[in-house]
């Protein structure tokens, strides 16, 4: 794919990217795909997927109480527990508002540790990273923002998101469908969105504007971006996913270059489709 070369024009020191299909075929890469980058909030989909595996294994259920009073695993995954962004204090009753919360993902990991009897980082490594061969991926800090990884490892994860082997297909569909529909909220870096749709650990594009994906991205597109200048999206309409990692903190530069890059990738994918 020629479109992946567009990252050469990004105002960053280092960047790497890849496009992978639902069949797991890597259609294009650019940059050092073995270089380790800090993921920031792209950590959250990894944490969420470990939670989904725990649900499949019977460690917890979506409606297991977790977090503040009245909250469940489902609320924590969908950013509807009512917890503040970083402070571990409730700002609203569970299910009433979409409050993007790092604290919520930390309490999610605490709940999984409590119910499994295994430290979350160990559980995640054994249940997710090792089966997918993600040898360079580590959780070194908060389960909301403290992972590091490579494009190669995230390609394996993006392939799993499109054709799940570690969880049931129906579990994956629920995680990437709208949870608590109709709730408004702030999408970090892109302002107030009405509605601000999320699944269970994955942001759903729907018809949000502005947005970090492309104008031609399908409404079913899901994924996450991070404040370290990273993103991973899956577009079921295109049958492909894209990963991009950089070493420059998210800012106006990213909001300027990411959407046209996504549109260029999608346009080339359409040309490649018979």
User: For the segment 65-107, what is each residue's pLDDT rounded down to a tens digit?
Assistant: 999 999 999 999 999 999 999 999 999 999 999 999 999 999 9
Give the distance, in angstroms, between the CA of residue 88 and the centroid of all CA atoms in the same chain: 22
What percentage of residues in the chain have a pLDDT greater than 70? 100
* Res 39: pLDDT: 98
pLDDT digits (tens, 9 = 90+) for 210-264: 999 999 999 999 999 999 999 999 999 999 999 999 999 999 999 999 999 999 9
Average pLDDT over residues 18-43: 97
Average pLDDT over residues 138-165: 98
Distances (CA, A) of 196 to 5, 127, 158, 199: 32, 30, 23, 10
Q: Total structural domains in the chain?
A: 1
Other CB atoms within a 10 A radius of the CB of residue 164 amount to 18
Alpha-carbon Rg for the chain, nearest whole angstrom, is 17
What percentage of residues in the chain have a pLDDT greater than 90? 97
* Res 272: pLDDT: 87
* Res 68: pLDDT: 97
Instruction: Give the chain's mean pLDDT.
Output: 97
* Res 38: pLDDT: 98
* Res 16: pLDDT: 98
- 134 neighbors 148 (Cβ within 8 angstroms): no
Q: How does DSSP classify residue 131?
A: T
* Res 205: pLDDT: 96
Domain span at residue 57? 3-272
* Res 135: pLDDT: 98
Predicted confidence (pLDDT) at residue 274 exceeds the cutoff of 90:
no
Give the C-alpha separation, 220 to 198, whole Å: 11
Sign of CA dihedral 95, 97, 103, 105: positive
Q: What's the angle, vertex CA 74, arms to CA 73 and CA 77, rounded to 5?
A: 85
Other CB atoms within a 10 A radius of the CB of residue 148 amount to 19
Distances (CA, A) of 15 to 9, 32, 154, 250: 10, 8, 14, 13
Going by pLDDT thresholds of 50, 70 and 90, the confidence category of residue 121 is very high
Predicted confidence (pLDDT) at residue 58 exceeds the cutoff of 80:
yes
Helix 43-56 vs helix 151-162: crossing angle, to nearest 10: 40
* Res 273: pLDDT: 77
Structure tokens at 144: 């909301």
CATH code, domain with 86:
3.40.710.10
Q: What are phi and psi of 204, to 5 degrees?
A: -110, 130
């Amino acid at each position: 794919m020629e479109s992946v070369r567009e990252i050469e024009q990004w105002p960053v020191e280092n960047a790497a990217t890849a496009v992978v299909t639902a069949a797991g075929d890597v259609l294009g890469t650019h940059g050092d795909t073995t270089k380790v980058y800090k993921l920031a909030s792209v950590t959250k989909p990894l944490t969420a997927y470990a939670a989904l595996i725990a649900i499949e294994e019977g460690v917890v259920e979506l409606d297991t109480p977790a977090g503040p009073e009245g909250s469940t695993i489902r609320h924590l995954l969908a950013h509807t527990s009512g917890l503040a962004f970083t402070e571990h204090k409730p700002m609203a009753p569970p299910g009433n508002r979409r409050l993007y919360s790092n604290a919520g993902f930390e309490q999610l990991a605490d709940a999984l540790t409590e119910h499994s009897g295994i430290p979350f980082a160990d559980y995640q490594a054994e249940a997710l990273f090792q089966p997918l061969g993600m040898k360079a991926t580590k959780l070194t800090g908060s389960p909301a923002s403290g992972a590091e990884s490579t494009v190669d490892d995230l390609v394996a994860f993006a392939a799993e998101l499109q054709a799940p082997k570690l969880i049931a297909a129906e579990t994956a569909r629920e995680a990437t469908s709208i949870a608590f529909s109709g709730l408004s909220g702030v999408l970090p870096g892109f302002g107030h969105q009405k509605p601000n749709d999320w699944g269970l650990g994955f942001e759903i594009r729907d018809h949000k504007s502005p947005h970090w994906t492309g104008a031609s991205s399908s409404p079913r597109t899901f994924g996450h971006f991070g404040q370290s200048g990273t993103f991973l999206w899956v577009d079921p309409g295109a049958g492909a996913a894209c990963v991009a990692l950089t070493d420059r903190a998210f800012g106006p530069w990213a909001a300027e270059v990411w959407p046209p890059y996504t549109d260029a990738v999608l346009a080339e994918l359409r040309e490649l489709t018979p």
